[in-house]
Amino acid sequence: MKYPDGEIVTTGYNNNMLPTDVSGADNCVPSMTYDSAGRLLTRALGNGLTQTYGYYAWNQQGGRLHTLVAGNLQNLSYAYDSVGNITSIADSINSQTQSFDYDALDRLTSASANGEPGQGAYDETYQYDPATGNLKVKGDMTLDYFDSSHVHAVTNANGNTYSYDDNGNQTTRHIGNDTFHLIYDAENRLVEVKKNVTTIAEFTFDGDGARVTSVIDGETIRFVGGYYERKGSQITKYYMAGAARVAVRKYTIPQNMTVEYMLGDHLGSTSITTDSNGAMVSEMRYKPWGELRYTWTDASASTSPTYELTRYQYTGQYSYDAEFGLKYYGARFYDVSTGRFTQPDTIIPQSQSTQAYDRYAYTNNNPVRYNDPTGHEAGDMCDRGYEDDCEEDSAATPTATPTATPTPQTPIDVAISLLQYSTIGMSLYSMLIDNGYTIIYGPSSGDGSNGSHLYEDRKTIEIYWNAKDASDIAGTIAHEAMHLGVAGSSLLEEYNAMIVGDAVRNDILVNAGVGTGARHSLSNYTVDVNNSDRMALSAELINWFSNYEKKYITLVSNGGYCQTYSSCPPLP
């Protein structure tokens, strides 16, 4: 990529199209390594620091992120509940642990950090309106919703008041003694902000809706994506490794160049910046909804008249907190003080989830687990991998080799058809191999008879596997298992009444449409079962299925990988 000032930055890739290095005027990222499932293991930075990612075993938390370490500056450990919500983040460098609790809908209900207040300690609870689902209590703040035309739009928060236009856009913010006026164009894009009667911010956008200029207090900044900014003679350039912003170069034409490297957490929030020698320059810690709870800046940097904390802070989004109290999330702006967006989402991307119908809610009210980099869709650690691996888990190759390819009538532990051609399928494939399961491959006809190679009296779940993330595999298996309702399973007994009534329900059950438009994600299958004690993760269900007499699972990779068995590449 060529920057406007002429610098050319080159990104290298491995055979699986995962980025392996980033180089330009500096060798920002000398190397990146991955495991066989495409998960990031190490990222070496140009200042000598190396970020190391550790993961749980596949049969323990489904291979989720476990540790995130960067030299002696960062050492985070993550723990989860049975459905993947983060229950604690232990920061061993600062001897501080954050703890989190959730309700039956996976909404955050409490959060705390131990230690002294000066180190960012806090203890908060969160409550939701039982009728609307709106966030009602956020720490010491009480939120009210009095706009009958926009029932999910906050109108009052501890004396601060907000109003909206007919499209649901927040137009006024009465904060303390000041009134901020938010002005939108015909496409509902924020183009001007006034503080009382004075214009303090103006924005222009390109035809795709991306911000290209801002004028803040009379100073114009020109943007080229999230890579390049120019304010007069001041240039700021950002360097990306995959989806992670890893370094920033600042200089004033024609000299005074500085380079800082950025360390993030699991959500992509900038936690630490370091200089070219690997020494810490600044540190930021956040509450769950994005408020800064602790900041530290090196004294030599803080005395510089040009130094400021990076504006890419919470979840890696651009902050206008100092000017008018909002963060820029691409499609719309977010208010960390209320935990609400200032505009409703223009789409409902997760229509199978009741939480998605609150179009002002931030990340389905689970901000510790999810982020929303576009302002359009909450994602589980980008909903595509871990931290910065949003696009990087799409080309992994399994290293395990099937033990045999028996005839269709051979007794087996688990039958999996073409599983290795799905990225997430390969993760499960490796987990099964690691746990001693035997894998066979059967034909895939694509007409609903994919289980015909199994004995007719064997209870089978079949999935046309076109899922895009790990939560889908858990959610889909749990959803289909619900229909089986076979007596003897403590996990499934209570769902017997929900069995689909057909004559072969105890023999073969086929789900023939799992994909981006018809899937059951782990965070949302509570809608299906409507029970606070949700089913266990897919690994537990798989173990139960495998050990149950005459019980087998078939996962069929199809749609987008290979349409029929004969059209797929050779098996490993």
Sorted by sequence, the CB contacts under 8 Å of residue 343 that are 6+ apart come out as: 167, 168, 169, 170, 188, 332, 333, 360
pLDDT at residue 208, as a whole number: 87
CA-based angle 246:238:349, to the nearest 5? Answer: 80
**Distance from C-alpha of 38 to C-alpha of 427, rounded to nearest angstrom:** 9
pLDDT at residue 383, as a whole number: 43
Measure Cα distances from 166 to 121, 192, 270, 281, 341 in Å: 41, 18, 36, 45, 16
Q: How many CB atoms lie within 10 A of CB 440?
A: 20
**Distance from C-alpha of 438 to C-alpha of 417, rounded to nearest angstrom:** 12
Q: List strands edge to edge, sheet with 551-557.
A: 508-514, 459-465, 551-557
**Distance from C-alpha of 539 to C-alpha of 428, rounded to nearest angstrom:** 9
pLDDT at residue 163, as a whole number: 98
Q: What is the mean pLDDT of residues 317-329?
A: 95
pLDDT at residue 350, as a whole number: 72
Tokens 């330009």 correspond to 24
Residue 467 confidence (pLDDT) above 60: no
Q: What is the mean pLDDT of residues 542-559?
A: 37
pLDDT at residue 115, as a whole number: 84
Pick the residue with more confidence: 442 or 343?
343
pLDDT at residue 348, as a whole number: 82
Share of the chain above pLDDT 90, in %: 53
Domain 10-383 CATH class label: mainly beta
**Distance from C-alpha of 41 to C-alpha of 296, rounded to nearest angstrom:** 28
Taking a C-beta distance cutoff of 8 angstroms, is the pair 143, 338 a contact?
A: yes
pLDDT at residue 318, as a whole number: 95
Q: What is the mean pLDDT of residues 427-454?
A: 41
**Distance from C-alpha of 189 to C-alpha of 34, rounded to nearest angstrom:** 39
Helix H, strand E, coil C: the string for 473-511 is HHHHHHHHHHHHCCCCCCCCHHHHHHCCCCCCCCCEEEE
Taking a C-beta distance cutoff of 8 angstroms, is the pair 392, 40 a contact?
A: yes
Strand 190-195 relative to strand 333-335, pairing: unpaired
Token readout for 317 is 């989004």
- Read off the pLDDT band of 62 (50, 70, 90): confident
CA dihedral 136, 137, 138, 140 (to 10 degrees): 150
The SS3 of residue 14 is coil
Taking a C-beta distance cutoff of 8 angstroms, is the pair 508, 451 a contact?
A: yes
Q: What is the mean pLDDT of residues 445-465?
A: 33
Among 117-121, 407-411, 490-494, which range has the highest average pLDDT? Answer: 117-121
**Distance from C-alpha of 542 to C-alpha of 533, rounded to nearest angstrom:** 18
Phi, psi of 444 (to 5 degrees): -120, 105
Partnered with residue 247 across adjacent β-strands are: 239, 261
**Distance from C-alpha of 277 to C-alpha of 254, rounded to nearest angstrom:** 23
Token readout for 513 is 């449409």
* Among candidate residues 393, 397, 445, 459, the one with its CA nearest the CA of residue 417: 445
Pick the residue with more confidence: 428 or 11?
11
pLDDT at residue 381, as a whole number: 52
pLDDT tens readout for residues 85-129:
999 999 999 999 999 999 989 999 999 999 877 899 999 999 999
**Mean pLDDT over all residues of the chain?**
74
Query: What letter represents residue 364's amino acid?
Result: N
Query: What letter represents residue 25's amino acid?
Result: A
Q: How many CB atoms lie within 10 A of CB 405?
A: 11
User: For the ranges 219-228, 380-389, 442-451, 476-485, which has the lowest average pLDDT?
Assistant: 442-451
**Distance from C-alpha of 54 to C-alpha of 34, rounded to nearest angstrom:** 11
DSSP state of 539: H
Residue 385 confidence (pLDDT) above 90: no
Helix H, strand E, coil C: the string for 141-200 is EEEECCCCCCCCCCCEECCEEEEECCCCCEEEEEECCEEEEEEECCCCCEEEEEECCEEE
Give the count of alpha carbons within 13 A of 74, CB side only.
Answer: 28
Pick the residue with more confidence: 430 or 416?
430
pLDDT tens readout for residues 252-283:
887 667 889 999 999 999 999 999 999 999 99
Token readout for 194 is 């006034």
Residue 354 confidence (pLDDT) above 90: no
String of DSSP letters for 219-230: EEEEEETTTEEE
Domain-wise residue ranges, the chain: 10-383, 414-567
CA-based angle 54:373:157, to the nearest 5? Answer: 110
Taking a C-beta distance cutoff of 8 angstroms, is the pair 444, 453 a contact?
A: no
Q: Where are the beta strands (DSSP E) in 398-456?
A: 414-415, 439-440
pLDDT at residue 434, as a whole number: 56
Residue 508 confidence (pLDDT) above 90: no
